[in-house]
């Protein structure tokens, strides 16, 4: 199946770039040499290289070999996913950065949502907070958790925040069991209610504080799971 082979080639080359086996500015071997080294067809290799180019990690120049670009300067959100789960493991350092960024983002979302939400969005957040409290287990609560923060982003009225959540949804749920943000969800449920209540009341400071506490507790749960 050519598509599966192409995926394997893509992951191999991406790992090589992210791990620094190809330095920024370095020329890749010729396509013929790469295909022979990986034991794949030229078409599978070209498809993999096209994906790397679309991610901004390699650059094709007229009359020159394809060169590697610095992923720290040119990479996007899709690079984070591969850094986080590369080599089949979970990178604790990258995870710490992701959780830190998540906490900062959620604080801003909550404050903006309190200023901008409409009545329907405020009611929906209260309903979702109630669903967290009534969830039968942590896995069910995790589904509601993502819906809660998606609603919060929509209430904040910032398209970029919404698209960020859209871009990570599939990857997040593919690895949800390794990211136990709702472990002990019954203990977290009052915080969802506090966030929803503050947003409904239009109290940005209270919304920011409540979601900050929630994000911090979730971060501790994930870090404990990763460390364990």
DSSP 57: S
**CA-based nearest residue to 212, from 110, 97, 93:** 110
> Is 87's pLDDT higher than 70?
no
Of 9-18, 69-78, 82-91, 137-146, give the range with the top mean pLDDT. 137-146
> Is 207's pLDDT higher than 70?
yes
Dihedral Cα 180, 184, 190, 194, nearest 10 deg: -20
Task: Please give the pLDDT value at position 1.
Answer: 42
Three-state DSSP at 27 gives strand
User: What is d(CA 148, CA 127) in angstroms, rounded to the nearest whole number?
Assistant: 9
User: What is d(CA 160, CA 39) in angstroms, rounded to the nearest whole number?
Assistant: 41
**CA-based nearest residue to 15, from 109, 114, 87:** 87
Least confident stretch, 94-103, 132-141, 161-170: 161-170
Determine what percent of the chain is predicted with pLDDT higher than 90. Answer: 63
> Is 135's pLDDT higher than 90?
yes
Alpha helices in the chain (DSSP H): 2-18, 31-38, 42-54, 71-74, 77-85, 92-116, 119-134, 138-156, 159-174, 185-201, 204-227
In angstroms, the Cα distances linking 186 to 45, 135, 196 are 49, 8, 16
Please answer whether residues 110 and 208 qualify as being in contact, where contact means their C-beta atoms are separated by less than 8 angstroms.
yes
pLDDT class of 88 with cuts at 50, 70, 90? low
pLDDT digits (tens, 9 = 90+) for 171-182: 788 888 888 999
Please answer whether residues 145 and 181 qualify as being in contact, where contact means their C-beta atoms are separated by less than 8 angstroms.
yes
**CA-based nearest residue to 209, from 221, 225, 197:** 197
Residue 67, beta-bridge partner list:
27, 59
Please answer whether residues 134 and 182 qualify as being in contact, where contact means their C-beta atoms are separated by less than 8 angstroms.
no
The dihedral through the CA atoms of 29, 9, 80, 179 has a sign that is negative
> Is 77's pLDDT higher than 90?
no
**Cα radius of gyration (the chain):** 21
Q: Which is more confidently placed, 196 or 167?
A: 196
């Amino acid at each position: 199946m050519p598509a599966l082979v192409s995926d394997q080639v893509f992951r191999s080359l991406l790992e090589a770039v992210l791990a620094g086996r190809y330095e920024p500015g370095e020329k890749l071997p010729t396509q013929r040499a790469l295909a022979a080294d990986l034991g794949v067809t030229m078409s599978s290799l070209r498809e993999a290289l096209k994906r790397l180019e679309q991610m901004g990690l390699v650059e094709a120049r007229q009359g020159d070999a394809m060169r590697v670009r610095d992923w720290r300067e040119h990479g996007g959100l899709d690079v984070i996913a591969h850094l986080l789960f590369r080599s089949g493991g979970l990178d604790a350092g990258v995870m710490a950065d992701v959780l830190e960024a998540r906490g900062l983002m959620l604080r801003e979302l909550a404050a903006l949502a309190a200023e901008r939400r409409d009545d329907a969005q405020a009611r929906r957040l209260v309903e979702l907070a109630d669903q967290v409290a009534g969830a039968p287990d942590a896995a069910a609560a995790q589904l509601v958790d993502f819906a809660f923060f998606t609603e919060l982003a929509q209430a904040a009225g910032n398209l970029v925040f919404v698209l960020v959540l859209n871009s990570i949804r599939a990857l997040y749920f593919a690895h949800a069991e390794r990211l136990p943000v709702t472990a002990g969800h019954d203990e977290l449920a009052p915080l969802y209610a506090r966030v929803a209540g503050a947003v409904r009341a239009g109290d940005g400071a209270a919304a920011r504080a409540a979601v900050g506490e929630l994000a911090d507790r979730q971060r501790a749960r994930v870090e404990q799971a990763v460390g364990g």
